A and B are shown apart, each in its own frame.
Chain A
Amino acid sequence: MLSAQTGVLEQVDGSCKLQCGQTTVECSVTGPIEPKARQELPAQLALEVIVRPCRGVPTTREKLLEDQIRGVVTPVLARYLYPRQLAQVCFQILESGEPEENFSVKELSACINAAFLAIVDAGIGLQFSFASVVLSVSTDGEEIRTDPAQLDLIESKSTHILALQLGEGTQKVENVLLFESHGDFTEDTVLRVLQFGEKSCVETAQELRKVVQRKVQQDFVWR
């Protein structure tokens, strides 16, 4: 389901190309670098998030994605380590894998996962691991699907995105970083999705961990 390579770009500090189902994104991280005066934070690392769509020019849709990604990445970065510095996190959607005018969950989830790998590749300090999954609930409200295909997404009654902060070797759920739902659902669905999503988030995190493991093996081949 999920495949990724790190270090795919030359000019940036960390990069990653991640494919999840029909969605492909490329992520680059540059930093810590010198920020512009208006971005500078006196005691912390400033974050610039840029999302570029696969087709057309960036719109408010991408602005919202940037805002959501920033919300997920900010609390897990060890920002106190780099005061008055800037990290640029840039995403390019290569394949959207969903009807772009109505949905953005699959792109968001892929971006969050790609950000994790690219930040690790760039060597910027992280306090926790994190991972994200998309979930959709079928029309009858019974079946919950993780990483739904394009058709499942269109037919679904509600769509949910979950990003979790994970600790202890990505085994333990520390906190909810983002949990956003749209559509037609009840409190019961929220709790069921949360429970179901927790499991698949941990699984996704394990996949990401394998990518990091492979990367470390290759990077330290000289040892």
Chain B
Amino acid sequence: MAKDIEISTSESKFLIETLRQGLRQDLRKFEEIREVGIEFGKDYGDVTVTMGKTKVHCRISCSIAQPYEDRPFEGLFYISTETSPMAGAQFENGNNTGEDEVLCSRIIEKAVRRSGALDVEGLCIVAGSKCWAVRADVHFLDCDGGFIDVSCIAVMCGLLHFRKPDVTVAGEHITVHSMDEREPVPLGVLHIPICVTFSFFNPEDAEENIKGESNKEICIIDATLKEELLRDGTLTVTLNKNREVVQVSKAGGLPMDALTLMDCCHKAFNITETLTDQITAKLKQDFEARNQYAAMLSSENTRVS
């Protein structure tokens, strides 16, 4: 890292003290996420998602490729999450081997790709020889914590918004129709996983945390950059609207009460529900704006045959 971020002792003491008193610096409640903003670009699959000051851009693209030999009926799907110094000077260009970067890309990979959020069988064009390769490029623009949660929303919004060109298959030959020629087709998205990250703080000493009865650990949702720097442990749960747990990740850190996990999942589900509704509403709004002349231009007859 070119320049690690450092937080002064007085500031960190102050932050922990406010948390102990049940306050956060941006006046949020412990179980409250920052406001999520979703903005679609001109092209299909171009989305910018903000959460507070954190900002992520995601671009979905597709090309024709050859499927893997052992999976002739499946298309290809990649997610790339690379950081650049644009998000902050602590990130080094082209070096994504840092612990946080690896963890972040692995969780997104698990939450979206491995959970089967995208129907890869629907990407097959000609079995064994041609398929669509869909790419999600996540660009981190501004970092104020919560990259995992925002990236997951951005990738899912992108996939839902993306349209791939229509193809005609004649034997082994295929024709790709341009967007002007034929209405492009959406991707098959099977469910919308939403990541919610919890951060744990231990205001007492380590002994109290393990042996003590008091359960004084503090648990907050959607930490900002400063809170992330000071946290003692983290947990990311991924859920979808069907009340299914897609992924749970707690990579070491502060030991916590087992029952807290259930509690966290319950809290996360409420967030998942509101975010899913927000995404669907936003998508609907965008497509209505795109198709505002569709009814006028329709050549369909109103008569019932």
Contacts and interface: CB of A to CB of B under 8 A. Distances in A.
B41 A95 contact: yes
A67 interface: no
A27 to B, nearest CB: 8
Interface residues of A, number: 26
Contacts of B59: 54-55, 94
Interface of A: 9-12, 22, 24, 26, 28, 30, 33-34, 36, 48, 50, 52, 54-58, 86, 88, 90, 92, 94-95
A52 B139 contact: yes
Contacts of B55: 9
Contact of B144 (A11, A55, A56): A11
A48 B89 CA distance: 12
Given A33-B89, A52-B139, A94 B57 contact: yes
Given A36-B2, A54-B137, A55-B59, A95 B89 contact: no
Interface string B74-92: 0000001010111111000
A48 to B, nearest CB: 8
Given A9-B55, A33-B3, A36-B2, A92 B139 contact: yes
A124 to B, nearest CB: 14
Nearest to B137: A55
A33 B91 CA distance: 14
B85 A95 contact: no
B: interface residue count bin: 20 to 34
Nearest to A55: B61
Contacts of B48: 94
B42 interface: yes
Given A10-B144, A28-B85, A55-B135, 9 more contacts: A11-B144, A33-B2, A48-B93, A50-B93, A55-B59, A56-B137, A88-B85, A90-B84, A95-B42
A94 B61 contact: no
Contacts of B142: 9-11
B141 interface: yes
Contacts of B87: 11
B86 A57 contact: no
B143 interface: yes
B207 to A, nearest CB: 37
Contact of B86 (A28, A36, A58, A95): A28
Nearest to B62: A55
B80 A57 contact: yes
A50 B143 CA distance: 18
Contacts of A57: 80, 82
Contacts of B61: 55-56
Contacts of B46: 94-95
20 contacts: A11-B88, A11-B142, A11-B143, A12-B85, A24-B41, A26-B57, A30-B89, A50-B85, A54-B59, A55-B59, A56-B61, A56-B135, A58-B94, A88-B2, A88-B85, A90-B84, A90-B86, A90-B93, A92-B57, A92-B84
A97 B80 CA distance: 22
Which residue of B42, B53, B84 has the most chain A CB atoms within 10 A of its CB atom? B84
A90 B41 contact: no
Given A33-B2, A57-B82, A95-B42, A12 B137 contact: no
Contacts of B32: none
A22 B41 CA distance: 11
A30 B3 CA distance: 11
Which residue of B48, B53, B59, B86 has the most chain A CB atoms within 10 A of its CB atom? B86
B17 interface: no
Contacts of A26: 57, 86, 141
B277 interface: no
Nearest to B43: A95
Interface in B22-60: 41-43, 46, 48, 53, 55, 57, 59
A34 B3 contact: yes
Contacts of A10: 53, 142, 144
A26 B59 CA distance: 14
Contacts of A55: 59, 61, 135, 137
B224 to A, nearest CB: 11
Contacts of B82: 52, 57
Nearest to A90: B86
Contacts of A12: 85-86, 88-89
B255 to A, nearest CB: 32
Contacts of B141: 9, 26, 92
A217 to B, nearest CB: 24
